[in-house]
Every structure is written in C-alpha cells, then in structure tokens.
Structure 1
Amino acid sequence: MGLEFGITELGLTERIEFFRTLSSWLTSGGGAFPVNEAIANTCDVYSRDEYKSLRAKMERVVRDYNSGQVLFSDALKGTGLGFTEQEISIIRAAEQSNQLRVAVPSLVEALTMRQNSTKALKGKMMMPVVGGFMLILMSLGVMIFMLPVVMEPVLQRDDSVIDKFPLIIRFYWFGSVWLRANYIIPILFALAPIIIFFTRNTRVVSQYIERTLMGITPIRRIILSYNAVMVVYFMPALVRASMPLPAVLNTLALSLNNTMVCTALKRAAYEHDHGSKLGDALAALPFRGSFRSAVEAGEKTGKIAERVEDLKVPYASEFERITKKATSLLMLVVMAGLLPFFIISMYTSLVAPMIALMEYS
C-alpha cells in the first residue's frame, strides 16, 4: 500500500462544486445533453490541476458507469471521496427514476444552504462563546495566581487582618482559597473545550451535549430552526428524485444530527408507510405549523416539493432572526455579567496590594 499525495477527499465546498458542475452539464442544451457525457465531463474537471491526484478514481467512475453495470451513485460511493449517504441516496433515487436533471440542481441548492447556514451560525456564536469562556478563565487566573502573591505574605504575618480587608477582597480571597483547595475544578474547566472537541462524536458525550443544549431555550430554538431549514431545502430534492415518501423521511432522519427531530421523522415514516396521511404523520415534528400545512396542501395537490419549497425563504429568514436574537442575548450575558466580573477581579488584584502595604506599615 503506497502513500497518497494531494487531495484524497472532497470537502463540502468541493462536493458542492462537483454537483454544480454536473448540474450545469445536465441542464445545458435545454436538458438534452447526454447524461453519460455530462458525467464524463464533470469527472474530467476533477481529474486535472489541483485534482490530478483523483484522476484514477474519476476515470473509474466514468468507466463503471459506461459499463452499464454500476449506477453513478454507487460509482461515486466506491471512490471513498467523502460523498455522504444522503447525497448518494438522492443521486441513486434520481437515477432510478430518470430525474437526475431535476434532482441535482435541488441538491446543489440544499447543500449550499447547509454550508451557508452552518458557517453563519458558527460565525455568530463564536464571539460570545469564546469571549465568555476567556473572561471566566482570566478571572479564575486572577483569583488563583495573582491574589495569593499579595495576600499570603500578609496573612502569614497575622491571619486576623483578613477581617480588616474590604468585603469584596475577602470574598475573592476565600474564593481563591477554595479554588486552590479544589484545583481539579478549574483544571477541568480549562480542559473542557479540548476534551469536548475530541470526544464530541462519541455516543455518550454527544447525547449529553445535545441534552444540555436542548435544555437552553435560546439554543433549542436555534437548533430546531436550523433543522427546519435543512428539511425544507433537502425534502424537495428527495421528492423530485422520485423517492418514496417514507424513504424521503428516513433519509432526512439519517442526514440530521438532532435526536428529537430524527426520531420524529422516523416515526412519521413508519406511520405514513402504514397508512397515515403524511401531514398527520408529521404532526409530532417540532417545527412550525406552516410546515405541516404545506405538506398537507402538497399531498392534496400532488405537489409536495413545490409547497415545501415555498417555505425556503421564510424559514431561512426566521433562522437568521432567531440566531441574531440568541447571539445578542449571549453578548448581553458576556458584557453585562462576565466582563464586569473580570474587571472587578482585576480591580481587586490591584487594590489588594495597597491594603497589604498598609497592613505592613
């Protein structure tokens, strides 16, 4: 087994561009361009320049598809380039129903929305979360390291003088004593982000993180709004691929990470597969009532994809509004709570030496 150099896997941005290129070829010439040539041309683009390390895999995709024995979706899956199960499922269903020209553009739009929403969410939440954590960490550093340097020499000389110090300095001093006696707590707090980062995908930790986040109302709203946006963008792509509706719901469940939403989608798939109307089956889904109404309207008219697609703009706007509101709330907590706490900590560390010098004199 040899070493591989260059690109060995396509990230989300590269996969979006791959499907966008494929979509352009499929829809060129008024949709009359042959599918096999569209696939060959797309794979050729990803066989040269910075993607030349993928040439062998792309050539195999074209060769396998042209053989007539392998579906394009299965050929993509066999490359090991990072195509997700959801993407493969959409392509497979579209191939089997001869709907690639319709499904691939919808897939590109859905993947683009996922990328933009995730990036926007991370960008807006980064400042208050990281800023708040750093302020707490620096405040603890003042209490654990700076105060003892000033206070201990004075107290070693006469420990009764602590009663003469201002209340706030006494409060911080006793807090410092407690933190140093229970040093494992600040150590775990400082290491928590690193521990969570490396264990976030394990079953136990991911479930604990999810339960904690879902218990915080502003974050719960963000999570549900984000999942709603993902559903209204991906569901039309799956439906247009002529995938059976129970399979659509199960595929959506596999593509989302929230247990509550996934469980509701799987249950809805089971109930719809056993005779329930799709709108009734989706009643337990923790989304806004407009989603169920759109599905029911689409079910009656036979245009589920179109009715759900109508929710894209309002749901995306709602997600942006909720995210902005939650971010503002977190910033308020940081600026009105944690920042003053840090300032007072620094003030205490500056005033304490003056009190200590007075005691020495």
Structure 2
Amino acid sequence: MGIEFGITELDLTTRIEFFRTLASWLTSGGGAFPVNEAIANTCDVYSRDEYKTLRAKMERVVRDFNSGQVLFADALKATGLGFTEQEISIVRAAEQSNQLRIAVPSLVEAMTMRQSSTKALKGKMMMPVVGGFMLILMSLGVMIFMLPVVMEPVLQRDDSVIAKFPLIIRFYWYGSVWLRANYIIPIIFAMAPVIIFFTRNTKTVAFYIEKTLMGITPIRRIILSYNAVMVVYFMPALVRANMPLPSVLNTLALSLNNTMVCQSLKRAAYEHDHGAKLGDALAALPFRGSFRSAVEAGEKTGKIAERVEDLKVPYASEFERITKKATSLLMMVVMAGLLPFFIISMYTSLVAPMIALMEYS
C-alpha cells in the first residue's frame, strides 16, 4: 500500500457531471444505447486527464457491472468516491426496475437544484450573519481593550471622577469592568464559531444547533422551505425508479438533515406501509397543503411523480422569496441594532480620551 495522490473523492459538482454524462449516454439514440456501453463510456471519461487517478476504480466499476454479479449502484458505492446513500438508492432502485434512462435525468435535476439552493442560501445568509458577528466582536474589543487604556490612568489618580463622565461612557466602563472580570465569556463568544464549525456534525451539537435555529421563526421558515424543495425534486426521481412508496419516504428521510421532517417522513412511511393512504400519512409533514394535495391527486391518478413535479417551480420560487425576506430582516437587525451599538462603542473610545485629558488638566 502507498499514499494515494490526486482526486480521492468526487464533490457534488463532479458527481452531478458524472450522472449528467451518464444520462446523456443513456438517452442518446432515442434511448436505444446499451446501458453497459453508456456506463463504460461514462467511466472512461472519468478515467483520464484530471481524473486519471480514478482509472483503477472506474475500470473496476465497469468490470464488476459487466460480470453480471454486481449492480452498477453497488459498484459505485464500493469505489468510496463520495456518492451519497440517496444517490446510490435512486440508482439501485432504477437499475432493479430497468428505469435508469428515466431516473438518472431526474436525479441530475434534483442534485442540481440542491446545489443551487444550498449555494444561494449560504450566499444570502453570509453577509448578515458574519457582519453581525464581527460588529459584536469589534464592540466588545472596544470595551475590553480600548477603554481601559484611557480610563484606568484617570481612575487610578482619582476614582471619584467617574461620576463626572457622561452616562453612556460610565455604562460602557462598567460593562468593560464586568467583561474583564468574566473574561471567559468573550473568549467563548469569540471561539464559538470555530468550535461549532468543527463539532457541527456530532450528534449532540447538531441537535442543539437545529433546536436553536428551528426556534427562530424566519430561519425555521427557510429550513422547512428548503426541505420542501429537496423533497419535490428528489421524490419524482425515486418514484420513477419504481421504488416502493414506503421506501421512497424512508430514502427521503435518510437524505435530509432536519429531524422534524425526517421523523414525519419515517412515520408517514410506516403508516402508508400499514394501509394508510399516502396523502393521509403525509398529513403531519410540516409543508404547505399543496404538497399533500398533489400527492393525493397523484395517488388517485397513478401519477405521483408528475403531480409532485408540478410543485418544483412554485416551491423553488417560494424558497427564494422566503430567503430574501429573512435575509432582509436579518440585515435590518444588523443595521438598526448592531451597527449603532458599534458606532456608539467607537464614540466612547473617541470622547473618553477628551474627558480624561480634561480631568488631568
């Protein structure tokens, strides 16, 4: 064994391109192109140029599939290249029902939507969150480091002169004294983002992060809207793969990170598997009523994938609208609350020296 250099795992963008390449081969020639050749051609693309380090793994995928003993989905999973359980489940179900030509393009569309939605959400939330945190941090810096430089020499000379300072400066000074006496609090606050970042995937931390975020109404709406978009994009791909509906719901539950949505999907899968109608089983899902209505209509007509697919555009638009509204609200909090707090903090650091010099004189 040796050290492995080069690409060892495919990121989301590369996985999307992998399945998009596979879909183009599967649908070429009016859908008459052989599946084994489509897989071989796709793996060949990811065996050269910048992907040449993957040649052995891609050749093994083709070899295992052509042996007839291993499913393509299982061969992909065995590569350890980062294909998610959801992606593998969709490919496996489609392969077993001979629906790869239909399911893979739907999978590509769903993965593309996940990528664009996640990117848009992170981009819009970054400014107010990071900006607000930095404003608080800089305000604390003024109180902890700048004020003592000016105030302490004056108070050491005569501590009674604090009464002559303006109320706002006295407020900040007492706050500075308290923060320096309890220095562990600003240290924890400053280190919290780093600690949360490295521990965010642990069960305990993830639980409290989710509980906190779900308790904030604007963020809760964003989370539920995002999960609704993921469901309406991935569910048609799973249904078109001829996966049993309880398995569809369980697979969706495994692919989402929100506990409330996952538990609702698992409970719906259990109830539907035990005789309940799919629409009734999904009643507890915290999505808009249009989702349940679409499922009920699809259940009656035998076209669940088509009816759920009709929700893609309105749900994506709703997600964008909710995200913009929440971002605007957070920016308002930053601009109307935290920015004035920082400005006042800087004001005290500028005015306090003048008053201190007057006291010295």
Pairwise TM-score range, normalised by the shorter structure: over 0.9
Q: How far apart, in 2, do the equivalents of 1:19 and 1:198 lie?
A: 31
Q: How far 1:222 sits from its partner (Å)?
A: 0.1
Q: How far apart, in 1, do the equivalents of 2:58 and 2:72 lie?
A: 11
Partner-residue secondary structure (3-state), 2:271: helix
Q: How far apart, in 1, do the equivalents of 2:316 and 2:100 lie?
A: 26
**Cα shift readout 1:313-359 (whole Å, capped 9, x = no counterpart):** 00000000000000000000001110111011001000000000111
Q: How far apart, in 2, do the equivalents of 1:155 and 1:320 lie?
A: 54
Unaligned 5+ segments in structure 1 are none
Q: How far apart, in 1, do the equivalents of 2:73 and 2:187 lie?
A: 48
Instruction: Indicate the residue corresponding to 1:275 in structure 2.
Output: 275
Q: How far 1:176 sits from its partner (Å)?
A: 0.2
Partner-residue secondary structure (3-state), 1:3: coil
Q: How far 1:216 sits from its partner (Å)?
A: 0.1
Q: How far apart, in 2, do the equivalents of 1:192 and 1:9 lie?
A: 30
Q: How far apart, in 1, do the equivalents of 2:119 and 2:71 lie?
A: 33
Q: How far apart, in 2, do the equivalents of 1:252 and 1:99 lie?
A: 19
Structure-1-length-normalised TM-score: 1.00
Q: How far apart, in 2, do the equivalents of 1:203 and 1:15 lie?
A: 27
Partner-residue secondary structure (3-state), 1:5: coil
Q: How far apart, in 2, do the equivalents of 1:337 and 1:9 lie?
A: 44
Structure-2-length-normalised TM-score: 1.00
Q: How far apart, in 2, do the equivalents of 1:42 and 1:25 lie?
A: 8
Q: How far apart, in 2, do the equivalents of 1:288 and 1:8 lie?
A: 40
Q: How far 1:45 sits from its partner (Å)?
A: 0.1
Q: How far apart, in 1, do the equivalents of 2:55 and 2:148 lie?
A: 63
Q: How far 1:60 sits from its partner (Å)?
A: 0.3
Q: How far 1:121 sits from its partner (Å)?
A: 0.2
Q: How far 1:246 sits from its partner (Å)?
A: 0.1
**Cα shift readout 1:84-134 (whole Å, capped 9, x = no counterpart):** 000000000000000000000000000000000000000000000000000
Q: How far apart, in 2, do the equivalents of 1:198 and 1:66 lie?
A: 42
Instruction: Indicate the residue corresponding to 2:211 in structure 1.
Output: 211
Q: How far apart, in 2, do the equivalents of 1:169 and 1:4 lie?
A: 60
Q: How far 1:182 sits from its partner (Å)?
A: 0.3
Q: How far apart, in 2, do the equivalents of 1:37 and 1:320 lie?
A: 40
Q: How far apart, in 2, do the equivalents of 1:74 and 1:217 lie?
A: 41
Q: How far apart, in 2, do the equivalents of 1:85 and 1:354 lie?
A: 65
Q: How far apart, in 2, do the equivalents of 1:55 and 1:124 lie?
A: 39
Q: How far apart, in 1, do the equivalents of 2:233 and 2:300 lie?
A: 21
Q: 1:311-326 to 2 correspondence within 5 Å?
A: 311-326=311-326
Instruction: Answer yes or no: is 1:74 the counterpart of 2:71.
Output: no
**Cα shift readout 1:165-209 (whole Å, capped 9, x = no counterpart):** 000000000000000000000000000000000100011000000
Instruction: Indicate the residue corresponding to 2:15 in structure 1.
Output: 15
Q: How far apart, in 2, do the equivalents of 1:202 and 1:10 lie?
A: 23
Q: How far apart, in 1, do the equivalents of 2:198 and 2:69 lie?
A: 41
Q: How far 1:160 sits from its partner (Å)?
A: 0.5
Instruction: Indicate the residue corresponding to 2:338 in structure 1.
Output: 338
Partner-residue secondary structure (3-state), 1:4: coil
**Cα shift readout 1:291-330 (whole Å, capped 9, x = no counterpart):** 0000000000000000000000000000000000000000
Partner-residue secondary structure (3-state), 2:201: coil
Unaligned 5+ segments in structure 2 are none
Q: How far 1:26 sits from its partner (Å)?
A: 0.1
Please identify runs of 4+ aligned residues in structure 1 that moved more than 3 A.
none
Q: How far apart, in 1, do the equivalents of 2:150 and 2:69 lie?
A: 79
**Cα shift readout 1:5-55 (whole Å, capped 9, x = no counterpart):** 110110000000000000000000000000000000000000000000000
Instruction: Indicate the residue corresponding to 1:65 in structure 2.
Output: 65
Q: How far 1:289 sits from its partner (Å)?
A: 0.1
Q: How many residues align?
A: 361
Instruction: Indicate the residue corresponding to 1:327 in structure 2.
Output: 327
Q: How far apart, in 2, do the equivalents of 1:149 and 1:67 lie?
A: 76
**Cα shift readout 1:126-165 (whole Å, capped 9, x = no counterpart):** 0000000000000000000000000000000110100000
Q: How far apart, in 2, do the equivalents of 1:253 and 1:44 lie?
A: 33
**Cα shift readout 1:189-238 (whole Å, capped 9, x = no counterpart):** 00000000010001100000000000000000000000000000000000
Q: How far apart, in 2, do the equivalents of 1:88 and 1:353 lie?
A: 65
Q: How far apart, in 2, do the equivalents of 1:172 and 1:78 lie?
A: 60
Q: How far apart, in 1, do the equivalents of 2:202 and 2:38 lie?
A: 40
Q: How far 1:285 sits from its partner (Å)?
A: 0.1
Partner-residue secondary structure (3-state), 2:33: coil
Instruction: Indicate the residue corresponding to 1:296 in structure 2.
Output: 296
Q: How far apart, in 1, do the equivalents of 2:91 and 2:182 lie?
A: 56
Superposed CA RMSD in Å reads 0.3
Q: How far apart, in 1, do the equivalents of 2:291 and 2:11 lie?
A: 31
